[in-house]
A and B are shown apart, each in its own frame.
Chain A
Amino acid sequence: MSEPMAINGDMAIAMAWKQIDPDVVAAYPITPQTIIVEAFSDFVANGEVNTEYVCAESEHSALTICVGASAAGARVATATASAGLAFMWEMLYVTASMRMPIIMAVANRTLSGPINIHCDHSDAMGGRDSGWLQLFGENVQEAYDNTIMAFRIAEDMRVRLPIMTCLDGFIITHALERLEMLDDKTVKDFVGPFRPVRPLLDVKQPTTYGPLAMPDYYYELKYQVQASMDAALDVAKKTMDDFAKVSGRKYHLAEGYRTEDADYVMVAMGSTAGTMRYVVDQLRAQGKKVGAVKVRLFRPFPAADVAKLLEGKKAVAVMDRAMSPGTGSPLYMDVLQSISRMKDPPRVSNYVYGLGGRDLIPGQLTEVFQEIMANKGDRINFMGVRK
């Protein structure tokens, strides 16, 4: 374990990649992810890693290069955000369906328009159905830790799917926070060597990747991704258990805070989780029975874990840093499906917030708690918008 240092989230990810030393990184810079690939390309130029770094002409090309490298038998990482992730959209599905365990840092930034460089989760939500696993970090330490765990989860033979390690743009990517790094050997031992499956470069086992599949096979091949997602829940849980042994930091797929005896619970992902716990502590000091749930793994969605945390509660507020115009937002929809078989389910409300980098103020979360405690509020609410 290193001495704690002050570092931003993007640098923390670049440092994690440096310790893992992937075979190939192909990327295209985009705010607020740029620091990751900028710092990492310095490591490559300085000979501090053995990585082949490919400067692509676009994000679509970057991910395509990553897929080719992964099929060839390489351990691959990349990073993107916002419009860059949207431009990868076609290749996101190809990456997952071809079962390429690529790790991609996503510095969550909103999508145009209007054009805006600040944080929300709408970019990652555009990829939520593509077959990628999605881990959301709350702070710089989690951005680093999630990255290390992601390589092991993605490359597990039961999973073999790509993972997005999501971190809130600017709030985590650019803010200096305290980071405790593991030493290089611990990281290398934890991640282990890369084990390719029928690499293209193995001429003794000729293999065709990504062939056509007609109506008689497409569905079955798509179901493979579902089966791997199911397996990933358990693999992720075990990986988090093992990570606790080497780091002392215990993570869960979904993490409850003061939920045991709570009647009212708030659910959120990313940097908001810290604000949420602060508000819970304030209301607990006033005797209110409130709690919080942070969802770390969004895909696959840990429905059973979330249901367990919400069982017997009176009301739940789901905070979504993304919107789906015309219906509920993604996290809300998944919380609803998690509790849909519950005998006496809590009253669940959706609160959209923080779009395009709009600041979240603790008092606003207090108001949300007050609203659900008073049995008020619509099913879907747009917190703080000037109507």
Chain B
Amino acid sequence: MANEGSSSLPAGGMIIEAGSSKKYKTGEWRAQRPEVDKAKCTDCLTCWIYCPDNSVMVKDEKMVGFKYSHCKGCGICANQCPVKAITMKEEGVE
């Protein structure tokens, strides 16, 4: 629970800090998580283009995994992957 009082919050709930969505860990919402099979992955980066939450991590032009702190598990990456290298797994299931 937040503890700021009404009078210390910006008027009307304005957000007066740029880029604050980084602090909002939307990964908590996830019911299914994407997992990548790098043996199949061609690093085409289609998943990176489609991800609405900028949660596909890329290093040196290679797809290197997912940022689970912000991935909501929408499954768009798995749906778009042209070589079916991404699968959606139930959270909390081994």
Contact of A210 among B2, B7, B13, B16 (CB under 8 A): B13
Chain A residues contacting B11 (CB-CB under 8 Å) are 99, 160, 197, 224
Report the separation of the CA atoms of residues A210 and B15 in the bound assembly, to the nearest whole angstrom: 8
By beta carbon, the residue of chain B nearest A226 is B6
Say whether A206 contacts B18, CB under 8 Å.
yes
Do the beta carbons of A221 and B7 come within 8 Å of each other?
no
For the complex formed, measure the closest distance between the CB of B18 and the CB atoms of chain A, giving whole angstroms: 4
Q: A206-B18, A207-B15 are in contact. Are A216 and B2 (CB under 8 A)?
A: yes
Q: Choose among B2, B6, B16, B20 the residue that contacts A223 (Cβ–Cβ < 8 A).
A: B6
| B9–A220 CB distance below 8 A | yes
Known: A216-B1, A217-B2, A220-B4. A98 touches B12 (CB 8 A): yes
Given the complex, which residues of A lie within 8 Å of B7, measured CB to CB? Answer: 224, 227
Cβ of A209 and Cβ of B2 under 8 Å apart? no
Sort chain A's interface into a size bin. 20 to 34
Partner among B1, B9, B15, B20 whose Cβ is within 8 Å of the Cβ of A224: B9
CB of B83 closer than 8 Å to a CB of A: no
Alpha-carbon gap, A221 to B8, bound state (A): 10
CA distance A211 to B2 in the complex (A): 16
Q: How far is the CA of A324 from the CA of B31 in the complex (A)?
A: 46
- Give complex CA distance A204, B72 in Å: 31
Residues of A within 8 A of B92 (CB): none
Residues of chain B within 8 A of A98, CB atoms compared: 12-13
Q: Which residue of B lies closest to A206 (CB)?
A: B18
Main SS at interface, chain A: loop
Residues from chain A with Cβ under 8 Å of B18 in the complex: 206
Complex alpha-carbon distance, A146 and B15, angstroms: 33
Q: How far is the CA of A229 from the CA of B63 in the complex (A)?
A: 54
Binary CB contact string for chain B from 18 to 58 against chain A (1 if under 8 A, 0 otherwise): 10100000000000000000000000000000000000000
Please, could you name 23 A-B residue pairs with CB atoms under 8 Å apart, sorted by A?
A: A98-B13, A99-B11, A100-B12, A197-B11, A205-B16, A206-B18, A207-B15, A207-B16, A208-B14, A208-B15, A209-B14, A211-B13, A213-B13, A216-B2, A217-B13, A220-B4, A220-B5, A220-B6, A221-B6, A221-B9, A221-B13, A224-B11, A227-B7
Q: Are B2 and A198 in contact (CB under 8 A)?
A: no
Tell me the nearest residue of chain B to A99, going by C-beta.
Answer: B12
Binding site for B on A (CB under 8 A): 97-100, 160, 197-198, 205-211, 213, 216-217, 220-221, 223-224, 227
Give the residues in chain B near A208, CB-CB below 8 Å.
Answer: 14-15, 20
B87 to chain A, nearest CB (A): 31
What are the residues of chain A within 8 A of B2 when measuring CB–CB?
A: 216-217, 220
Q: Bound complex: CA of A99 vs CA of B5, how far in Å?
A: 17
Give the CA-CA distance A97 to B11 in the complex, in Å: 9
Residues of B within 8 A of A97 (CB): 12-13
Q: When the two chains form the complex, which single residue of B1, B12, B16 contacts A221, counting CB atoms closer than 8 Å?
A: B12
- Docked pose: A319 CA to B76 CA in angstroms: 61
Further pairs besides A160-B11, A224-B6, A227-B6: 7, Cβ < 8 Å: A97-B13, A208-B15, A210-B12, A220-B4, A220-B5, A221-B12, A221-B13
Closest Cβ–Cβ distance, residue A286 to chain B (whole Å):
53
Find chain A residues with CB under 8 A from B14 CB.
Answer: 198, 207-209, 211
Task: List B contacts of A216 (CB < 8 A).
Answer: 1-2
Query: Given the complex of chains A and B, what is the CA–CA distance between A197 and B7 in angstroms?
Result: 16
Instruction: Output the least CB separation between A373 and chain B (Å).
Output: 46
The distance from the CB of A230 to the nearest CB of chain B, in whole angstroms, is 12
Residues in A neighbouring B13, C-beta threshold 8 A: 97-98, 210-211, 213, 217, 221
Complex CA gap A207/B7 in Å reads 18
The 8 closest A-B CB pairs, nearest first, are: A208-B15, A99-B12, A220-B6, A223-B6, A206-B18, A216-B2, A98-B12, A221-B13
* Nearest CB of A to B5, in Å: 7
Complex CA–CA separation, A199 to B5 (angstroms): 24
- Bound: A210/B9 CA distance, A: 13
Taking CB as reference atom, which chain B residue is nearest A208? B15
Expressed in whole angstroms, the Cα–Cα distance for A216 and B7 within the complex equals 15
Alpha-carbon distance between A227 and B5 when the two chains are bound, in angstroms: 12
Most buried by B among A100, A198, A205, A227: A198
Contacts of A205 in B (CB 8 A): 16
Give min CB distance, B14 to chain A, whole Å: 5
Q: Are B4 and A211 in contact (CB under 8 A)?
A: no
